[in-house]
Amino acid sequence: MRSLHRARPHPRLSLRDTPLPELNVGLNVSIAGKIYLAVDRALERECTCMQIFSRSPRRFRAPPLLDTDAAKFRRRRREAKLAPLVVHIPYLINIASPDDAFWAECLDAYVEDLRRADALRAEYFVTHLGSPKGEGVDFGLGRVAEAFGRILETYRPRCRILLENTAGGTIGRHWEHLGHIMEATRGGDALGVCLDTAHALASGYDVAHAKGLDEMLGTMDDLFGLDRLCLVHANDTKAELGSGLDRHEHIGRGAIGRAGFRTILSEKRLWHLPFVLETPTTGAEDDLANIRTLRRLAREANRAKRGR
């Protein structure tokens, strides 16, 4: 595959180089009740950015988003100064499906969800790449690229679509897959990337250690350019390196661990990005614990970088 981007060298930081900026961190927040209540929940959890599903993630279709509810959401988020807003694709939409009729339905639903994200003034729309259901990698990559081409011909969103790497499966496990899709998609400049740390480790990228993280970021830069990387899903994982299993864990308690997240948070090429957590939760207490742990690890990484 032809590279989309020529890699540029990244100078190493000295121990007393510029300190890390304040971490912009948020969570995937429930929209139960009314969608605008998600803003209040984000503030309760000390978020500075946020992610939501704009409707139930386990239903294929949903009632229209009311203009009044969208307006309240926009106003509350603006007052709360939460940015960016990330909207996540529902689970049932599969833009790699080999079933032509279902695939067409998925494209219609995808456009509908993009319109909802724009109504909420989301900056990003995160999407999984779907499954070709046994048809193989080449079919799946072509199907997804064709899907995005048709979607972007039908509706050009204000938000940027972010392709998320996967822990396993046929497509999305390797960064080459994402690079191929962006290269093959008509209007592919509308596409960016979301890095999920748990998925990366499970798919064989050793993000818990500086050498593995550096090699992975170099691969991404070579394939499509790190300017396309817009968001980090900061998740620890119960799965082992290369296992292909999607098993999220609380920050610092999994295979990445506290040391691994300090490594990730020390990486200068990621400092400007928002970090969104999708860690296990039973309520605000778990969410707060994960948010505070990640911020504490960022401070520790900062002190280590400055030799204090």
- Splitting the chain (308 residues) into consecutive groups of 10 residues, what average pLDDT does each group show? 40 41 92 97 97 90 93 98 97 96 97 97 97 95 97 96 95 97 92 98 98 98 97 98 96 97 96 96 91 96 74
pLDDT of residue 13: 32
Q: Report which of 268, 161, 176 is spatially closest to residue 213, judged by C-alpha positions.
A: 268
SS3 sequence of 72-116: HHHHHHHHHCCCCEEEECCCCCCCCCCCHHHHHHHHHHHHHHHHH
Distance (Å, whole) CA 101 – CA 165: 26
CATH number for the domain running over 25-305: 3.20.20.150
pLDDT value at residue 188 = 84
Mention every residue, 6+ apart, whose C-beta is less than 8 A from residue 5. Answer: 221, 222, 223, 224, 225
Looking at residue 302, its pLDDT comes to 84
| Residue closest to 262 by CA, chosen among 296, 291, 288 | 296
Q: What does the pLDDT read at residue 283?
A: 84
At 27 the pLDDT is: 96
Contacts of 48 (CB under 8 A, 6+ apart): 24, 25, 26, 81, 82, 83
Contacts 24+ apart (CB under 8 A), 146-151: 147/95, 147/96, 147/103, 147/106, 147/107, 147/110, 148/95, 148/181, 148/185, 148/186, 148/187, 148/188, 148/191, 149/185, 149/186, 149/187, 150/107, 151/95, 151/107, 151/110, 151/111, 151/114
Q: Which amino acid is at 303?
A: R
Rounded Cα distance between 239 and 198, Å, is 8
Alpha-carbon span 168 to 73, nearest angstrom: 35
Please give the model's pTM, rounded to 2 decimal places. Answer: 0.92
Instruction: Look up tokens 């948010």; give the residue.
Output: 291
Task: List the one residue out of 193, 189, 190 whose CA is nearest residue 178.
Answer: 193
Residue appearing with tokens 């280590």: 304
Predicted pLDDT at 3: 43
